[in-house]
């Protein structure tokens, strides 16, 4: 068995994050795998240092639309394969998906859509959710280990946001969005953070304009999910709320596999 530390972080712009110490964060934390969401940049727009941090293989999936969406993965061990989408253009062209195959598991790094802008975007989000569920269920049926991480853009339960009542009709906490997380868990997956922490008050996103982070008025919308068979491998799961540089903070799992 080998110990691995995996971190997921919506950096709200990888170039801005680089200016705020992203490379120092990588050097200090030394994750075996770092999954990043919302890069807002094409690979050709990044410095060599950000494209290739020392000691890491790096992979990027960028949106066709400039300055929008995008995901990246830095990994110390080279994956067996890398896939930049679900194989469906309407989802893949937004640069939201990286699927890496390692000897012991498949890793899905996903920046799930936000449904707040319009009914059309909420519909798109729900279709994206369903395709993601279809893909991981298929792999699970094949007895594969699966890690899903990223900005899911939905808080699951009342304890996962500071003001559930006020946000009950807001995208990110709608019944159909929460139901998708229920469906994922019912399909044989676990929310790793809730294996270790049952209490409320732990969040991963705060509204910057209202200075909500200072008051810890937040949402827990960044996750690591694993298939139930991997529960024995999960050593710890935590939210790195002391790390600044984005409106999100990083989330982490530590595994032995």
Which pLDDT score, from 0 to 100, does residue 52 have? 96
List the catalytic residues: 151
Q: List phi, psi (to 5°) of 187.
A: -85, 5
CATH number of the CATH domain containing 65: 3.60.10.10
pLDDT above 70 as % of the chain:
100
This prediction has a pTM of: 0.98
Cβ atoms within 10 Å, residue 10: 26
Which tens digits make up the pLDDT trace of 16-54?
Answer: 999 999 999 999 999 999 999 999 999 999 999 999 999
Q: Provide the CB-side half-sphere exposure for 186 (13 A, CA).
A: 6
Residue 1 has pLDDT above 90, yes or no: no
Find the domain containing 89 and state its range. Answer: 3-256
Task: Give every CB contact of residue 138 below 8 A, 6+ residues apart in sequence.
Answer: none
Counting the structural domains of the chain, the total is 1
Quick: pLDDT tens for 53-91: 999 999 999 999 999 999 999 999 999 999 999 999 999
Pairing state between β 218-219 and 205-206? antiparallel
Mean pLDDT across the chain, nearest whole number?
97
* Spatial CA neighbour of 62 closest among 79, 38, 80, 90: 38
Separation of alpha carbons 123 and 70, rounded Å = 20
Cα–Cα dist 244/193, whole Å: 20
């Amino acid at each position: 068995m080998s110990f691995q530390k995996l971190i997921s972080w919506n950096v709200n712009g990888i170039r801005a994050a680089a200016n705020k110490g992203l490379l120092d964060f990588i050097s200090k934390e030394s994750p075996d795998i770092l999954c990043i969401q919302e890069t807002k940049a094409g690979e050709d727009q990044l410095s060599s240092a950000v494209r290739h941090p020392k000691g890491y293989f790096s992979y990027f999936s960028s949106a066709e639309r400039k300055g929008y969406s995008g995901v990246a993965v830095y990994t110390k061990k080279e994956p067996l394969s890398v896939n930049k989408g679900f194989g469906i253009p309407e989802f893949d062209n937004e640069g939201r998906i990286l699927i890496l195959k390692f000897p012991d598991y498949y890793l899905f790094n996903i920046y799930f859509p936000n449904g707040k802008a319009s009914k059309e975007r909420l519909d798109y989000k729900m279709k994206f959710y369903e395709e993601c569920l279809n893909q991981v269920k298929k792999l699970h049926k094949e007895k594969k280990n699966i890690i899903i991480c990223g900005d899911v853009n939905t808080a699951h339960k009342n304890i996962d946001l500071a003001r559930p009542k006020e946000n009950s009709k807001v995208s990110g906490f709608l019944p159909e969005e929460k139901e998708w997380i229920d469906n994922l868990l019912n399909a044989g997956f676990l929310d790793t953070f809730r294996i270790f922490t049952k209490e409320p008050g732990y969040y991963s996103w705060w509204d910057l304009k209202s200075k909500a982070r200072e008051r810890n008025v937040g949402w827990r919308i960044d996750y690591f999910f694993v298939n139930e068979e991997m529960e024995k491998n999960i050593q710890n799961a935590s939210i790195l709320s002391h790390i600044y540089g984005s409106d999100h903070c990083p989330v982490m799992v530590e595994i032995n596999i």
